[in-house]
Amino acid sequence: MNLRKASMSAAAALALALTATACGGDSDSGSDGDSLTIGIKFDQPGLGLKTPDGKYEGFDVDVATYIAKEMGVKAGDITWKEAPSADRENLISNGDVDFIAATYSITPERKEKVSFAGPYLMAHQDLLVRKDDDSVGSEKALRDSKLKLCSVTGSTSAQNVKKDVAPKADLLEYGGYSECLTGLENKAVDALTTDDSILAGYAAQKAHQGKFKLAGLSLSDEPYGVGIKKGDTKLQKQINDAITKMVDDGSWKKAADKHFGPANYEYDDAPKITETS
């Protein structure tokens, strides 16, 4: 009888252990050191771009790869998943990615749904206009304008435009920045508005060189963070430690110069880590 009870207890303990392993923890996941699924943009040159030959490049990609390395995951063991602006919170909440590095500005509204590590870059909202267009030379001119502006659904830039930047403007929201760029080139819209880091990447592409320019307006501060599941403090610390090391050993500046240099984008120094709980 005692032996039977002991066997049943052992079986129950094993079942609980297997269940816990399968389910994992919500706030203390970290990495298992084998592989990672990381969300990035696929259409942002200089930041997160999937090339025609199926490779991935950009500053966000380099930051994410460095973080993965510090977590014991080799570059070849990373699965890259496209993370459109409007889908980022759902990708994290649903467990489709381990973390997201995709020009993901840290905002109070987003922190209600997900947590962040970082930030790892400070960008600023600006406008991309056609090279011969000098109609928007100041914030006042933009505020009073009735321009057709384009941005991406789910981005902070789209929200800022209607609320604070250009309330009289006609805002068009597309699914991706490439669509906005096509509209700008075809004169369907007057300007593309988003972070200056993103705009610089597009302007620097060979196919677009000489066609567009940044208006030179610093309309907001956009601290890029690494999006993680809400409350995952263990993963947050792992990522913060990796970002700090990347800055300290010079890898951060090397990556920034590599990806932003061709666009003559004068990026800010690495920002101070603020997301610690």
Q: How far is CA 43 from CA 14, 47, 92, 199, in A?
A: 46, 9, 20, 12
Please report which confidence band the pLDDT of residue 74 belongs to, taking 50, 70 and 90 as the band edges. very high
Q: Which residues contact 18 (CB under 8 A, 6 or more apart)?
A: none
pLDDT for the residue numbered 120: 98
- Tell me what pLDDT residue 145 has: 79
Per-residue pLDDT tens over the stretch 144-175: 778 898 988 877 777 777 777 788 888 888 88
Contact (CB, 8 A) for 263 and 201? yes
Q: What is the pLDDT of residue 32?
A: 52
* pLDDT the model gives residue 251: 98
Q: What is the pLDDT of residue 65?
A: 98
The answer, yes or no, to whether residue 18 has pLDDT greater than 60, is no
* pLDDT-based confidence at residue 134 (cuts at 50, 70, 90): confident
Contact status, residue 88 vs residue 154, Cβ threshold 8 Å: yes
Give the three-state DSSP class for 37. strand
Burial of 21 (0-12, 13-18, 19+ CB in 10 A): exposed
* pLDDT tens readout for residues 77-118: 999 999 998 899 999 999 999 999 999 999 999 999 999 999
**Dihedrals phi, psi of 227, to nearest 5 degrees:** -80, 130
User: Could you give all domains of the chain from N- to C-terminal order, each with its CATH number?
Assistant: 29-122+224-263 (3.40.190.10), 123-221 (3.40.190.10)
CA distance 59 to 67: 12
| DSSP-derived 3-state class of residue 57 | strand
Predicted confidence at residue 166, as pLDDT, reads 82
Top pLDDT among 226 and 20 is at: 226
CA–CA separation, 189 and 145 (whole Å): 13
Q: What pLDDT is attached to residue 24?
A: 38
Whether the predicted pLDDT of 249 surpasses 90: yes
Arithmetic mean of pLDDT over the chain: 86
- Tokens representing 213 are 């320019």
Q: Model-level pTM greater than 0.85? A: no
Q: What is the DSSP string of 137-170?
A: -SHHHHHH---EEEEETT-HHHHHIIIII-TTSE
- Give the whole-angstrom CA distance, residue 221 versus residue 166: 17
Structure tokens at 248: 């300290």
Planar angle of CA 17, 18, 20, nearest 5 degrees? 65
Residue 35, pLDDT > 80, answer: yes
Q: For residue 267, what are the CA distances in angstroms to 95, 198, 261?
A: 32, 11, 9
Q: Per the structure block, which two tokens stand in for 121?
A: 């870059």
Work out the average pLDDT over 182-201.
Answer: 90
* Cα separation, 141 vs 166, whole angstroms: 9
Q: How far is CA 15 from CA 2, 7, 23, in A?
A: 20, 12, 12
Question: What is the structure's pLDDT at 159?
Answer: 75
pLDDT of residue 215: 87
Task: Reply yes or no on whether the pLDDT at 247 is more than 90.
Answer: yes
User: How far is Cα 57 from Cα 34, in angstroms, rounded to an integer?
Assistant: 22
Q: Name residues whose C-beta falls within 8 Å of residue 154's C-beta, 6 or more positions apart in sequence.
A: 84, 85, 86, 87, 88
